[in-house]
Amino acid sequence: MQVVGHFINGEIVTDTQRVQDVYNPATGAVSRQVALASKATVEEAIAAAQAAFPAWRNTPPQKRAKVMFRFKQLLEDNADKICAALTNEHGKVLDDANGELIRGIEVVEYACGAPTLLKGEHSKNVGPAIDSWSEFQPLGVVAGITPFNFPAMVPMWMFPMAIACGNTFVLKPSERDPSAPLLIGQLLKEAGLPDGVFNIVNGDKVAVDTILEDTRVQAVSFVGSTPIAEYIYATGTKNGKRVQALGGAKNHAIIMPDADMDNAVNALMGAAYGSCGERCMAISVAVCVGDAAADELVAKLKPQVEALKVGSGTDVSNEMGPLITAAAQQRVRTLVTQGVEQGAQLVVDGRELVVKGHEDGFFVGGCLFDKVTKDMVVYQEEIFGPVLCVVRVDTMQEAMKLIDDHEFGNGTCLFTRDGEAARYFTDNIKVGMVGINVPLPVPVAYHSFGGWKRSLFGDLGAHGPDAIRFYTRRKTVTQRWPSSGVRDGKQFAFPS
C-alpha cells in the first residue's frame, strides 16, 4: 500500500517506523497510509530549514516574489490534481475543494507583493547629521501546524507569507489528509524554491511537541480546536517562541424581523451545511429575533435541508459530502441525540442517512434544530458537522448578549435591512470577524483573519498585514557619519 512520506530538503523521505491509515471518507475504505514522523525525522526537517535560512534570508525580496509568482501559476495549472486529493481524503465536494484552493492562492498573490510589504520607514536628520530607520527582518525557522478541514488553504495562510518575508518553514499538516500538502510542497520546489526553505513532516503529537520544544524554531502558527490551541500557545511561549494559535468557534447569525428571509435562508444553507459543517467559520446557530421570524426561517429551511443532495464529493451534482472519519460521524450523531434528549426540537434528522453505493461512507445528513436554549450541549459545543440550531429571542440586545457571553468569538453575522442596527452591531459585538448579510465573513488575503476570546491565542491573526508583523522582527537603526572637523568631543547623552 502507498505510504505518504515527508518532504525534507527538497526530497520525499519515508519514515515507516510508524504509519497510520488514510481513509476515503466517501467509501470508508483505507486508500493509503501516512508515515508518522519520529522525533529524529522532525529534527532533520528543522536542521534542513536552519541550514537554508542564511542564504534565503539574504535573497532579495524581489527574487523571493518571483518564486511566489511561479508558484501561483503552478497551483492554477495543477488545480484539478490538488482538488482531487482534497476530495478523496477530506470528502468535500469538488466545487468546495476548488473554492478552498482559490482562497489559498489569494494569499500567495498577496505574498508576491513582498518587496512593497517589507519596506521599512526612514527619517532623516532626527538629530544633527543623524538618520534613523526601521526595517523588517525575518525570524529564522518558523513552523505551521494545520488542521484536516482545509489541508490546502490553511497551510497557505502561513508559509507563503513566512517564506516571502525571508524565513524558512516546517509544516506539520493533518495526518488525516496529507496528500494535498505534499503535492503543494513539490510545486514549490518546481517553482524554484531552494531546497530546505520549505519542509513537510507528517505526524502526531510526537511531531508537534518536537516543534514546540526545539530551540531552533522561532515561531509557530496553529489552527485547530481550542484545547489544542491553548496547549500550543502555552507550550510554545513557555519555550520562548512567538505563537499565533487559532482555536474553535460557535458562530451565530442574528435574523432580524426585517431581514430578507429568502436571502438569509440561502446564505445559511451554504454557511451551515457547506463542507459538511467542518469549518471554523460555519454558522451553527441562527438567533431569530421574534417568533414570527423564527417560524418563517424554520419553515423555509426545512424543505431545503431535507432536499440536500449528499454523496461522494467526486459527483459534481452533490451539495455535501461525508465527514472526515467514522469517529467524527459518531460524534455528530451523539451530539444530535443529546440535543433531542435535552428538549430541542429536531426538525430535520440526518443521523441515519445512508448513501446508496457508499453504505460504508462517513455520511450524516443535514440536521436542523429549533427551540434550542443556551444550556443545551448542541448550543455550547462546536459540533463541526452539518447541524444548524435555531434559538429564539425577543430583542436584538438579547441576541447580542448570547454571542458576547459565549466563550468563542470567531465569526458572526446579522441579517437586516436596517443600517442603524447593522452599525450598532458591528461597533459593539465582541467577535473578531463580522458580516452584515454575509454569512461567512472570512477576510480576503490582504486583510487579516482572527477571532476574539478563546478563538485566538496571541496578538496577531493569519495572513494580511498581521502576517508581516508575525513573521518579522522590527529593527530600528540610528546612524551618524560625522564629517571631518565635526568630531569635537565625547557625547554621553542620547542623541538629540
Residue 280: active-site member: yes
* Cβ–Cβ under 8 Å, residues 5 and 15: yes
d(CA 265, CA 347): 15
Q: For residues 102 and 97, give the distance between their C-alpha atoms in angstroms, rounded to a whole number.
A: 9
Q: What angle is formed at CA 410 by the lines to CA 276 and CA 217, rounded to 5 degrees?
A: 95
Report the SS3 class of residue 434: strand
Per-residue 3-state assignment (H helix, E strand, C coil) for 318-375: CCECCCCCHHHHHHHHHHHHHHHHCCCEEEECCCCCCCCCCCCCCCCCCEEEECCCCC
C-alpha–C-alpha distance, residues 400 and 393, integer Å: 10
Whole-number Å distance between alpha carbons of 301 and 367: 11
Gap between the Cα atoms of 370 and 339, Å rounded? 10
Which residues are within 8 A (CB) of 152 and not within 5 positions of it... i.e. 6 or more apart? 82, 86, 97, 100, 101, 104, 180, 181, 184
Catalytic residue among 112, 280, 389, 413: 280
Contact 400, 428 (CB under 8 A): yes
- Burial pattern 199-222, b for ≥16 Cβ within 10 A else e, equals bbbbbeebbbebbbebeebbbbbb
Does the CA dihedral 202-206-208-210 come out positive or negative? Answer: negative
Catalytic residue IDs: 280
